[in-house]
Structure 1
Amino acid sequence: MLHYARLLSTMIRLAISEEMEYRSNFFANVLSTVSGLLVSLLTLKVFFNQTQAIGGWSFEQVLVLLGIFNALDGIVQMVLRPNIGRIVQHIRKGTLDLILTKPVDAQFYVSFRHILFWPITDVLMGLGLVVYAVLQMNIAITAMNLLWFLLMFLAALVTLYGIWMVLMTMSFWFVKVENLTFLFTSLFETARFPVQVYKGILRALLTYVFPVAVLTTFPSAALIGKLNGTDAVISFVIAVLMVVFARWFWKQALRNYTSASS
Structure 2
Amino acid sequence: MQYEGVLNKMHTEFANPIQYYLVFEQAFIHINQIINKDIEIQHIGYQCLNCAKEKKIFRQGFCFDCFTSSAAAGDWIMRPELSKAHLGIADRDLAYEQKVQLQPHIVYFAVASDLKVGVTRKTQVPTRWIDQGASAAIPIVEVPNRYLAGITEVALKQHYTDKTNWRKMVQNQIINVDLIQAVKNTESFLPAEIMPYYEKTQQEIYELNYPVEQYPTTCKSLNLDKTPNYKGKLVGVKGQYLLFNDGTVFNVRSYEGFKIHLSIN
- TM-score norm. by structure 1 comes to 0.24
Question: Which structure has more strand as a fraction of its residues?
Answer: 2
Question: Which is bigger in relative contact order (C-alpha 8 A, separation at least 6)?
Answer: 2
- TM-score norm. by structure 2 comes to 0.24
Question: Which structure has more helix as a fraction of its residues?
Answer: 1
